Amino acid sequence: MHPSLLSIPMRYFMEVAQAGSVNQAAARLFVAASAVSRQIAKLEDGLGTPLFERNRQGMVLTAAGQRLAGHLRNTLLDADHVLEEVRSLGGQAAGRVRVCCTEGFASGFMQALMRDFRSAHPAAGIELHVGAPDEVSQRLLRGESDIGLKYVVAPEAGLRVEHTAPAPVLAVMLPGHPLARGRQVELAQAVRFPLLVASPGVTARQLLDLACSAQGLQYRPLFVSNFSSVMLPLLRDRDIMLSGLLTVAQPIEAGTVVARPFVEPVLQQRRLQALSLEGRTLPPLVQAFVRQMVAAIGAQGRRKLGRAARGATKPVSLRR
C-alpha cells in the first residue's frame, strides 16, 4: 500500500492505530514521539472527537477512530489497486493476490488452488500467509491480505463473507478402523479410541469439548497439535483424528484414510468461509481467485468420504 498518499496527520494516525502506541509509531516513522502526539491532537481537534482512548495498555481506537481507520484502509487498498492497474498499462506486473489461511488448508487444498490459478493467470503474483484463525482475521482487517480462508462458528465484525459452506468436524481414520463401516460416528463411540485433536482455541477442538460436555463424556487425547499435517502421518489402526474435509481431501482420494461425520449436531455447526475486508471492492484478479476458490470448494464437497476396508467390523450403535 502507499500511505504517502495520505496527509501527515492521517499517516501518523494510521501508524498509531496499527501499532497501538505513540512511541512505536514514532519509531516506524523515524520522528519524535512528541511530533506524533501533536499530529494526533491536531487531527482530533479538527474532527471534534477523540480518536483514541489513552490507557496503560496503549492507544485504543474509539468508535470514531475505528470508523476512520476502516475508511482509510479501504482508501489505501483502492489506491494500491489503481496504481497496479497503471503499472499494468505500462507493461509492468499484471497484479497480485494476497491470500491468508489457517494451516489445515495450506499444504493440500491451497497448493492445488494456487497451481491451477497460476496456469490460468501466468503473469499474476500470489502471496500466501499461513497463520492461526485470529491472525487470518487481523491480516484482513489491517489490509495485509486480500482474501482469507478459515473455519468459523460465529460472524466477525469488519469482515465480509465472500463464500460460505458447511464444514462439519469429521472423524478421520484408516480404512480398516472398526468405525469406518458406518455412515456416521457417535461421539460416545469415538472417545473410546485414541484421539488426535487440535490445540485448544481451534474450532474443531472447541466443538469437540462442547459436545463432550453436553453428553458428560470425557476423552484423553493421544496427540494434540495446532498442525494437522503433523498429526495425519501419525494416524494408526485404532486412532481417530478430528479434522475438516479440505484438510484430508487428498489422502481420502488416495484411499489412505476415510472420514465420517458425527451424529451430534454440535459437531456440524462449523462453517468454512472465504472472507475479505468489509467495504472494500476487490480487484478483478482477486475476484477471479475467489471464483476459482469457490469452485474448488464445491468440487471437494461433492466427493465421497472414502471406502472402508473389506472385513472392517461394522460398529454397533449406542442409541436405544
State which H helix or E strand residue 64 sits in: helix 63-89
pLDDT for 85 equals 58
- Are residues 251 and 206 in contact, defined by beta-carbon separation less than 8 angstroms? no
Tell me, what's the pLDDT at 79?
Answer: 66
Cα torsion angle, 26, 70, 152, 105, sign: negative
* Predicted local confidence at residue 76, as pLDDT: 74
Say how far apart CA 310 and CA 313 lie, in whole Å. Answer: 9
For residue 91, give the C-alpha cell. Answer: 507493461
φ and ψ at 222, to 5 degrees? -75, -40
The confidence score (pLDDT) of residue 167 equals 94
pLDDT value for 312: 60
**What cell numbers appear for 203 in the block?**
474450532
Backbone angles phi, psi at 273, to 5 degrees: -135, 140
pLDDT of residue 83: 61
The number of beta carbons lying within 10 Å of the beta carbon of residue 48 is: 7
- Give pLDDT, residue 150: 95
The three-state secondary structure class of 173 is strand
pLDDT of res. 229: 84
User: What is the dihedral angle through the alpha carbons of 171, 177, 182, 188, rounded to the nearest 10 degrees?
Assistant: -60
Contact (Cβ atoms closer than 8 angstroms) between residue 84 and residue 112: no
144-160 in b/e form (b: 16+ CB < 10 A) is: bbbbbbbbbeeebeebe
User: CA of 127: how far to CAs of 96, 151, 182, 258, in Å?
Assistant: 7, 20, 41, 32
Look up residue 166 and give its three cell numbers. 458447511
What is the pLDDT tens value at each position of the chain, 320 positions in all?
455 567 888 888 988 988 889 999 989 888 999 999 999 999 999 999 999 998 877 899 998 988 888 888 777 777 666 666 555 554 444 578 999 999 889 888 999 999 999 999 998 889 999 998 889 998 888 888 999 999 998 888 889 999 999 999 999 999 999 999 999 999 999 999 999 999 988 899 999 999 999 999 999 899 999 888 889 999 999 999 999 999 999 999 999 999 999 999 999 999 999 999 888 888 888 999 999 999 999 998 888 898 988 766 555 454 43
Position 37 scores a pLDDT of 92
